[in-house]
Amino acid sequence: MSKKLLLEKAHVENIRLYDVYRREGGYRSVEKALKTMSPDQVTEEVKKSGLRGRGGAGFPAGMKWSFLAKPEGVPRYLVCNADESEPGTFKDRYLMEFIPHLLIEGLIVSSFALGSSRTYIYIRGEYAWIVDILEQAIAEAKNNGWLGKNILGTGFNCEIYVQRGAGAYICGEETALLESLEGKRGNPRLKPPFPAVKGLYGCPTVVNNVETLAAVVPIINLGGDEYAKIGVGRSTGTKLISACGNINKPGVYEIDMTISVEEFIYSDEYCGGIKNGKRLKACIPGGSSVPIVPANLLLKTAKGETRYMNYESLSDGGFATGTMMGSGGFIVLDEDQCVVKNTYTLARFYRHESCGQCSPCREGTGWMEKILWNIENGKGKMSDIDLLWDIQRKIEGNTICPLGDAAAWPVAAAIRHFRDEFEWHVLNPDKCLTENYGLRHYADPIHVPVA
């Protein structure tokens, strides 16, 4: 049983309500931070904890906080990114829905550390009912003196506002989010300047993911050093993984990043194995943007070592043979799934969600979708596979924001590892409409050259 820091109390009855949450030890971290620590000390603890951003990029949170510019007389903002729209990722939703006070508590401590008196939660528009849950939690916190003016008599003022997005994945990108929060079209900004210098309304701003900010609570309660002892290497603490696809027990799991991928998929504590006794074919372990890997490279690295559920191990081998932790959206594909169809679905998503500002992403995503549709429907040509490769290569790295990369990577990874499945579609234009390519060699042990 791995250690739980975030969801430990998530199933205590009525934990959504303030009284129960408080009874279970809630808001201790606010007392500790506001009464016994300075803002810089809080930041220092977060630095020591090694906490990495849980929104996808894995950037060390403490370091991000220490970059925040602090010019005299200019307000600073903390913005919580609850836009969670990456296909496969639904962990923030779970946390906010079941234990909303944990996020509010984390936000108060983080706002204190950063000096933000007006803190925003920008939430995905489709999570309409969670807005109510959060606003109720905020009202309860305020009624009990955790928000508002002069909190705990320390002179620190803080309000938290919830703002709903209007249904655009791109508004999860932090600068598009800020534009949208300002009431503008959600186009990502050009960087530099970075939000730490010029963010919301031109003021220094920190944008962090829901899970990142909730993790500040156990960090302050335990101390940064203690928190850092959980996990392994630079993957400290616990991580929420939302698991879905062809598994027996889809859901949100809190893991401490020491378990292997194999254990995560097959143990009854987590995914409970592949559904209907099927065999594992492939997996997208970190949300739709990260590279898909075949079963053999998922469970073992190219060096033949066990792959673990943490930042370093999942990315072992780089894009050639590895993938990424991303935002923790773990999508499992069994032997009956078609990688071409899966890639088409993702391409369609990115085409639809591109903001359209820069030409490679606006035009390239649509082009890839159309070619993939052809291949999937038995209308593809051999040359289309190389063309796809060339298009994704010309998008990647040449755009304003990482959505372009996120659209390119799944296509690149699918061709890199499953090229023969694409070719099979081209060579069997009729058969591919009624049959699947199947598992083939994708789970075969990988030959590891002996040194």
209 contact, one of ligand SF4, another protein, ligand FMN, none, CB 5-8 Å limit per kind: ligand FMN
Q: 65: Cβ–Cβ under 8 A, 6 or more apart, which residues? A: 43, 46, 47, 110, 113, 114, 206
Between 119 and 175, CB nearer to ligand SF4: 175
Between 260 and 345, CB nearer to ligand FMN: 345
Between 245 and 329, CB nearer to ligand FMN: 329
Give the tokens for residue 255: 């893991």
Sheet holding 280-284, edge to edge: 251-255, 239-245, 329-334, 280-284, 293-294
Buried residues in 83-95 as b, exposed as e (16+ CB within 10 A):
bbbbbbbbbbbbb
Query: At closest approach, how far in Å is the CB of 170 from another protein?
Result: 7
Q: Which is nearest to 327 in space by CA: 346, 317, 314?
A: 314
Which listed residue (23, 149, 394, 431) binds another protein by CB under 8 A?
394
If one asks whether residue 56 binds ligand FMN (CB under 6 A), the answer comes out as: yes
Which listed residue (45, 105, 173, 421) binds ligand FMN by CB under 6 A?
173
Query: At closest approach, how far in Å is the CB of 440 from ligand SF4?
Result: 34
Beta strands in 231-285 (DSSP E): 231-232, 235-236, 239-245, 251-255, 280-284
Q: Is the peptide bond before 449 cis (omega within 30 degrees of 0)?
A: no
If one asks whether residue 203 binds ligand FMN (CB under 6 A), the answer comes out as: no
Residue 129: how many other CB atoms lie within 10 Å: 8
Between 172 and 245, CB nearer to ligand FMN: 172
CA angle 40, 45, 49 (to 5 degrees): 145
If one asks whether residue 55 binds ligand FMN (CB under 6 A), the answer comes out as: yes
Give the tokens for residue 271: 């995914």
Q: Footprint of ligand SF4 on residues 167-186 (CB under 6 A)?
A: 170
Q: Footprint of another protein on residues 138-197 (CB under 8 A)?
A: 168, 170, 185, 190
If one asks whether residue 46 binds another protein (CB under 8 A), the answer comes out as: no
Which listed residue (7, 333, 401, 412) binds ligand FMN by CB under 6 A?
401
What is the DSSP secondary structure assignment for residue 162, as one 8-state letter? E
Which listed residue (206, 214, 259, 358) binds ligand SF4 by CB under 6 A?
358
Between 170 and 181, CB nearer to another protein: 170
If one asks whether residue 382 binds another protein (CB under 8 A), the answer comes out as: no
Residue that the structure tokens 């159309």 belong to = 370
If one asks whether residue 212 binds ligand FMN (CB under 6 A), the answer comes out as: yes
Binding footprint of ligand SF4, residue count (CB under 6 A):
14
Residue that the structure tokens 């971290």 belong to = 29
- Residues 305 and 254 sit within 8 Å (Cβ to Cβ): no
If one asks whether residue 398 binds another protein (CB under 8 A), the answer comes out as: yes
Give the tokens for residue 11: 């199933």
Query: At closest approach, how far in Å is the CB of 375 from ligand FMN?
Result: 25
Tell me which H or E stretch contains 140.
helix 128-143
Contact residues for ligand SF4, defined by CB under 6 A: 170, 188, 354-358, 361-362, 399-401, 403-404
Contact residues for another protein, defined by CB under 8 A: 168, 170, 185, 190, 351-360, 362-367, 370, 387, 394, 397-400
